[in-house]
Amino acid sequence: MCHCLACQRRTGSAFGIQARFPATHVRIEGRSNEFTRTSDEGDGAGTFRFCPECGATVYYTISSFPDFIAVPIGAFADPTFPAPTVSVWEERRHSWLELPAGMEHHD
């Protein structure tokens, strides 16, 4: 759903990075506001929940993966968070971005 260019605009970064968890393993607490956006290609939607105080995205759901909750890695505020293992939408990555060896790649 993210299709990279929209993720770059949403995050203000060269890429979006997230951890996805089965929805049945996630407990949501606290307040959040939401914004729903259609993908670049118009084939799916993401509903982003963000902190009403600071505006940071705290989690989101993707219509094409309804059984998962995605949490932006930065929301964990943990520089020791494990490195990513899967890369998607690489055809839209910045040419200078190097990906770690051993990743699973999907275009």
Domain residues of the chain, as ranges?
Answer: 5-106
pLDDT surpassing 80 at residue 10: no
CB 50 within 8 A of CB 88: no
Question: Confidence band (pLDDT; 50, 70, 90) for 107?
Answer: low
Higher-pLDDT residue of 18 and 14 is: 18
- The CATH code of domain 5-106 reads 2.170.150
Provide the pLDDT for residue 28.
94
Backbone angles phi, psi at 54, to 5 degrees: -110, -15
Provide the pLDDT for residue 3.
46
User: pLDDT digits over 21-73, tens only?
Assistant: 999 999 999 999 999 887 666 666 889 999 999 999 999 998 888 999 999 99
